[in-house]
Amino acid sequence: LKQALPYVRLVGESWPLPLSRAHYEYLALSKQADLAPGLVPALLHHNETLALTVMELLEPHIIMRKGLVAAAQYPRFAGDITPSWRGRCSSRPTSRLSAAEKKEGIAAFAGNHALCKITEDLIFTDPYRIAEQNRWTAPYLDGLAASLRDDMDLHVAISRLKLKFMASPEALLHGDLHTGSIMVTDSQTRVIDPEFAFYGPMGFDVGAVLANLLMAYFASAGHERAPGERAAFEGWVLETVEQVWNEFARKFLDLWRAGAAGDAYPGLALRRRDGRGAAGGRAAGLHAAPVRRCGRLRRGQNHPPHLRPRPQHRFRADRGSAEAGDQRGARRAAGAGDDGGGGGLPIDRRRHRRRAKAAGLDAGVCERLKADALQ
């Protein structure tokens, strides 16, 4: 039985939280049961008024984090945590959704913003500024904490990721997939507590799993009673990091090749079986960045009526548009290149510097954020 309280359980009434999270947890559990059968506890009952959910009791499962502290190894974990999305429900991956289904899915979870805000603050904002929730081992890590606050390049990078988290509704996420949200036995893996669920960037959950495995690896030495005692466990953790990513990538591409019947990527090159299926993986990372260039490419072929000049002018306009949004640039902007999606967009640097100075901001940071916004 799980009943939501109007505040964070571990902190108390000083940190209020809406009861509606019980609704989103229930909704996510039912979608996940359909998408990845057997990976979540079965739903038995839900009562909206009481913010109450009855689910399968997982026994003798333990919280995976506790198992990792005890140096337990879970050989099935990498395969289990990267399911094949066998289900056929409406929350199946974007490659198989119609545009209408996708938008309805996004809308169904859009109200869970209070839980998203926790992640936006705790992961993407607070570690980089003075904040009440921050904890570190003082005085030993004071220098490291200060360096996180002072590193402007890091602030730019984290701002980009935060924007991606807030504004890239690619897939239904668990949203809080640390090893405290996973229950295990030697032969089973179950994911619990999807109260942070929403449509977000599809790499977020797998990234959280990898980060938590790496944290278990780095924390391991602190649990040693004799030198080298946990070496086999530590080796297993590192292997598992690789396996989780490889399994995720393999299953993602298998799914892609099996038939991208949705509206987002209607087949063609993205489904090729000749090893270039990886294009599908890259396309799946597609965000707002390439839209501008792709728009120009499209315009080179298909002017809307008000842009259609006489034929000889149209030829020049079409070629100019296509060249300005050349295919290489569009691919690069879509993430295939290594320029971070900038794609050589001309930016009026002097104008940004003037504005940044007027606002009392670091000009370089402003320029790069503005470049992102323009993309």
Ligand X SMILES: Nc1ncnc2c1ncn2[C@@H]1O[C@H](COP(=O)(O)OP(=O)(O)OP(=O)(O)O)[C@@H](O)[C@H]1O
- Residues in contact with Mg ion by CB under 5 A are 193
Classify the C-alpha dihedral 333-339-340-342 as positive or negative. negative
Q: Which of residues 141-170 bind ligand X (CB under 6 A)?
A: none
**Per-residue mark of binding to ligand X, 12-51 (x: CB under 6 A):** -----------------------------x----------
**Residue 33 Cα distances to 25, 83, 88, 89, 253, angstroms:** 12, 11, 11, 10, 22
Residues near ligand X (CB under 6 A), total:
12
Taking the complex as a whole, the smallest distance from the CB of residue 196 to ligand X amounts, in Å, to 9
57 contact choice in ligand X, Mg ion, none (CB below 5 to 8 Å, kind-dependent):
ligand X
Q: Which of 80, 170, 195, 234 binds ligand X (CB under 6 A)?
A: 195
Q: Which of 51, 171, 182, 192 binds ligand X (CB under 6 A)?
A: 192
93 contact choice in Mg ion, ligand X, none (CB below 5 to 8 Å, kind-dependent):
none
Residue whose tokens read 């930016």: 347
Q: Does residue 83 belong to the site contacting ligand X (CB under 6 A)?
A: no
Phi, psi for 285 (deg, rounded to 5): -90, 10
9 contact choice in Mg ion, ligand X, none (CB below 5 to 8 Å, kind-dependent):
ligand X
Identity of the residue, 9 or 310, whose beta carbon is nearer to Mg ion in the bound complex: 9
Identity of the residue, 24 or 217, whose beta carbon is nearer to Mg ion in the bound complex: 24
Identity of the residue, 193 or 234, whose beta carbon is nearer to Mg ion in the bound complex: 193
239 contact choice in Mg ion, ligand X, none (CB below 5 to 8 Å, kind-dependent):
none
Query: Candidates 188-196, 269-277, 296-304, 339-347 — which segment interacts with ligand X by CB under 6 A?
Result: 188-196
Identity of the residue, 70 or 221, whose beta carbon is nearer to ligand X in the bound complex: 70
215 contact choice in ligand X, Mg ion, none (CB below 5 to 8 Å, kind-dependent):
none
115 contact choice in Mg ion, ligand X, none (CB below 5 to 8 Å, kind-dependent):
none
Taking the complex as a whole, the smallest distance from the CB of residue 195 to Mg ion amounts, in Å, to 5
Identity of the residue, 22 or 260, whose beta carbon is nearer to ligand X in the bound complex: 22
288 contact choice in Mg ion, ligand X, none (CB below 5 to 8 Å, kind-dependent):
none
41 contact choice in Mg ion, ligand X, none (CB below 5 to 8 Å, kind-dependent):
ligand X
Identity of the residue, 9 or 350, whose beta carbon is nearer to Mg ion in the bound complex: 9
Nearest to 23 by CA among 194, 220, 225: 194
Query: Candidates 29-37, 52-60, 214-222, 309-317 — which segment interacts with ligand X by CB under 6 A?
Result: 52-60
Classify the C-alpha dihedral 289-291-297-299 as positive or negative. negative
Name every residue whose Cβ is closer than 8 Å to that of residue 42 and which is 6 or more positions away in sequence. 33, 55, 56
Structure tokens at 67: 């198992």
Is residue 279 within 8 Å of residue 330, measured between CB atoms?
A: no
Taking the complex as a whole, the smallest distance from the CB of residue 18 to ligand X amounts, in Å, to 14
Sites of contact with ligand X (CB under 6 A): 2, 9-10, 41, 55-58, 63, 192-193, 195
